[in-house]
């Protein structure tokens, strides 16, 4: 496990699950009927979106990306959502499953779909970031998970270059869970999606200014499963499993719940052999945490403690993902019996002694000068802004490579590689002592990280990028082809 410091953080939450077995198309209306969450005012019990579970090795889902009207913090507002709610339905799969998604684009602009963290093909009608689904069109996605696919918490959101931050910030996101054979014994499992948003005086999602985009926008309101300041309830002694997604466009979440017993099962994908006791965990945009929470009597707050993610350097402006209260945790009633022991997880693969076929260096940078669209700053990887027609990295299928990812800018950048997970082997100049796998790694301002990547099982062409999504849209993204 990586060390916890003032720049590490804990994302917590709780979510009731409305289980649904799905066997065919035509599900959009079902999501709403089964409790797809519409955002609500503060203080109510935490709700959950519908859950859709694979049967017979297949999950077929219909997603309608469309505007909808809901209530946030006592205001009637207009947002975007999948299946008329925020977040979209939670998709539950198992290794080896086939996921088929029929995406209907009822927006007034083009979109597409990315299944963040899944180890699936990036080509054709699978996790292809180069697809464009125009307004009014329907597209059938088809993803095949390999039999040994890592378990864990993943998520889905749009990935059409130039509009990713706008569409996700407005409400287009949902969780994916790949379940293990031996579930951890818990009183309940909750999927918690945390996001942020801002509205203008008319109740519409506020458009980002040029300064917002350069720094990475952060919303005025923080939402927990589409709600402001919900209440999470439980009984003393209950052990819960919280699957947490940071679905913010740019905000880092450093989260804690004072007085509760917290254990980290894993981050992004897979899980550790044994849970680690933690006080706080940092989630960069796109990261997920798998937590065990053993409840203690009393009332406390779920908070993000704040995180300084750097600034614009020569412009003299910094960006802090500030402290805030997200929810109230109320633990009352009679204590329950101690839960069964947590079974050991699998031993994570370790590439530190593996033969490395090639070493590469990538540099993420921000600079003054004319960037994309005539903006006064450029956002680049290796001095180049994104061009979907250019291939930046060519990799031989089956190779293990070591990448050193540098950041010459005065702002932290979370680096995300599609399809192939990364083993973090060095950060802040120090070796990472235990096998640590991520699909989003934080590259600190003025610093570097070193990762090893097994380009195995899957071939194709996809992307890597900064997961501050405004920076991705402004050009901090490259193309990789494995074959």
Tokens of residue 464, six digits: 């890597």
pLDDT in tens, 124-133: 999 999 999 9
> Above 60 in pLDDT, residue 303?
yes
Domains 1-335 and 358-482 share a fold: yes
Please report the pLDDT score of residue 330 as a whole number. 95
pLDDT in tens, 239-278: 999 999 999 999 999 989 899 999 999 999 988 889 999 9
Rounded Cα–Cα distance for residues 101 and 142 (Å): 6
Q: Which fold has domain 358-482?
A: Immunoglobulin-like (2.60.40)
Rounded Cα–Cα distance for residues 31 and 267 (Å): 28
Mean pLDDT value across the chain: 89
> Above 80 in pLDDT, residue 50?
yes
Domain ranges across the chain: 1-335, 358-482
Mean pLDDT of 429-441: 95
- Write down the architecture of domain 1-335 according to CATH: Sandwich (2.60)
Please report the pLDDT score of residue 83 as a whole number. 81
Proportion of the chain above pLDDT 90, given as a percent? 79
State how far the alpha carbon of 422 is from the alpha carbons of 118, 119, 160, 169, 212, in Å: 13, 12, 23, 26, 30
Beta bridge partners of 90: 51
Please report the pLDDT score of residue 169 as a whole number. 98
Please report the pLDDT score of residue 222 as a whole number. 96
Rounded Cα–Cα distance for residues 204 and 226 (Å): 15
Mean pLDDT of 154-176: 98
Label each residue of 223-279 as H, E or C. EECCECCCEEEECCCCEEEEEEEECCCCCCEEEEECCCEEEEEEECECCCCCCEEEC
The DSSP annotation for 155-181 comes to: EEE---TTTHHHHHHTT--EEEEE--S
The residue with greater pLDDT, 319 or 442, is 442
Lowest mean pLDDT among 1-15, 150-164, 181-195: 1-15
pLDDT in tens, 314-364: 444 567 899 998 889 999 999 999 889 998 889 999 999 999 999 999 999
């Amino acid at each position: 496990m990586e060390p916890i410091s003032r720049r590490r953080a804990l994302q917590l939450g709780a979510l009731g699950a409305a289980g649904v077995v799905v066997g065919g198309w035509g599900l959009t209306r079902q999501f709403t009927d089964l409790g797809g969450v519409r955002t609500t005012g503060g203080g109510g019990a935490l709700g959950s979106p519908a859950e859709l579970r694979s049967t017979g090795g297949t999950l077929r889902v219909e997603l309608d990306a469309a505007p909808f009207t809901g209530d946030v913090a006592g205001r009637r507002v207009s947002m975007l959502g999948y299946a008329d709610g925020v977040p979209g339905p939670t998709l539950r799969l198992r290794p080896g499953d086939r996921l088929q998604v029929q995406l209907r684009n009822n927006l007034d602009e083009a979109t597409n779909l990315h299944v963040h963290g899944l180890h699936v093909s990036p080509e054709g009608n699978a996790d292809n970031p180069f697809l464009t689904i125009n307004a009014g069109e329907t597209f059938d996605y088809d993803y095949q998970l390999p039999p040994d696919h890592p378990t864990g918490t993943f998520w889905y959101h749009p990935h059409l270059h130039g509009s990713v931050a706008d569409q996700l910030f407005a409400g287009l996101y949902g969780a994916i869970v790949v379940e293990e054979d031996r579930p951890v014994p818990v009183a309940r499992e909750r999927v918690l999606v945390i996001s942020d948003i801002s509205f203008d005086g008319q109740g519409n999602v506020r458009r980002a200014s040029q300064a917002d985009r350069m720094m990475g926008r952060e919303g005025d309101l923080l939402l927990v499963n589409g709600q402001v300041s919900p209440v999470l309830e439980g009984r003393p002694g209950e052990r819960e499993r919280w699957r947490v997604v940071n679905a913010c466009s740019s905000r880092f979440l450093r989260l804690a719940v004072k007085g509760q017993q917290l254990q980290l099962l894993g981050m992004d994908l897979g899980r550790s052999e044994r849970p680690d006791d933690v006080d706080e965990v940092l989630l960069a945009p796109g990261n997920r945490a798998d937590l065990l929470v053993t409840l203690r009597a009393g009332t406390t707050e779920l908070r993000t403690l704040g995180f300084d993610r750097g600034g614009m350097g020569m412009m003299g402006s910094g960006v802090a993902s500030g402290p805030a209260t997200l929810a109230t945790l109320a633990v009352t009633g009679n204590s329950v019996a101690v839960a069964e022991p947590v079974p050991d997880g699998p031993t994570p693969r370790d590439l530190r002694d593996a033969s490395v076929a090639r070493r590469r260096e990538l540099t993420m940078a921000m600079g003054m000068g004319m960037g994309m669209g005539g903006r006064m700053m450029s956002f680049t990887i290796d001095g180049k802004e994104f061009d979907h027609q250019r291939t930046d990295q060519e990799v031989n299928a089956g190779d293990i490579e070591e990448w050193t990812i540098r950041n010459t800018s005065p702002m932290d950048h979370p680096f995300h590689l599609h399809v192939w997970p990364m083993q973090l082997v060095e950060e802040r100049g120090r070796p990472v002592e235990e096998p640590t796998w991520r699909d989003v790694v934080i590259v600190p301002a003025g610093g570097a990280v070193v990762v090893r990547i097994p380009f195995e099982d899957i071939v194709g062409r996809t992307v890597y990028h900064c997961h501050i999504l405004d920076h991705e849209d402004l050009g901090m993204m490259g193309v990789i082809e494995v074959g």
